Amino acid sequence: MIATTKEKWIAENYVASRSDNGAQYIDQEIYGSKAIPCDIRYPHGGEKLEGVVSKAETMDEKWRQALETLRHQNPPAAR
């Protein structure tokens, strides 16, 4: 299966994001968001990670990652 889109802007956005490091989103407010105090830590023994840590190589991979994220956030027992 190959993922495609009829929407030209989606394809253009995907291509543009391939060279984007996401810096424009640092400290950006998300409309309707709610801040919840927390202290989450993820152990990491390697080099300091800067910028984008993972990028989909293809649209198929992008959608697979999105679906996996949704499944993780909304497991069947919680639906």
State the pLDDT at residue 3.
Answer: 72
Q: What is the pLDDT of residues 49-65, one digit of tens each?
A: 777 666 777 777 777 77
pLDDT computed for residue 37 by the predictor: 92
pLDDT tens digits, 27-49: 888 889 888 999 988 787 888 77
Task: Give the pLDDT of residue 53.
Answer: 66
Given CA atoms 72, 5, 19, 56 in this order, what sign does their dihedral have?
A: positive
Helix-strand-coil percent breakdown of the chain, rounded to 5? 40, 0, 60
For residue 14, which of 79, 66, 71 has the smallest C-alpha distance? 66
Q: What is the mean pLDDT of the chain?
A: 78
User: pTM of this prediction?
Assistant: 0.33
Measured distance CA(8)–CA(15) in Å, rounded: 11
Q: What are phi and psi of 47, to 5 degrees?
A: -65, 155
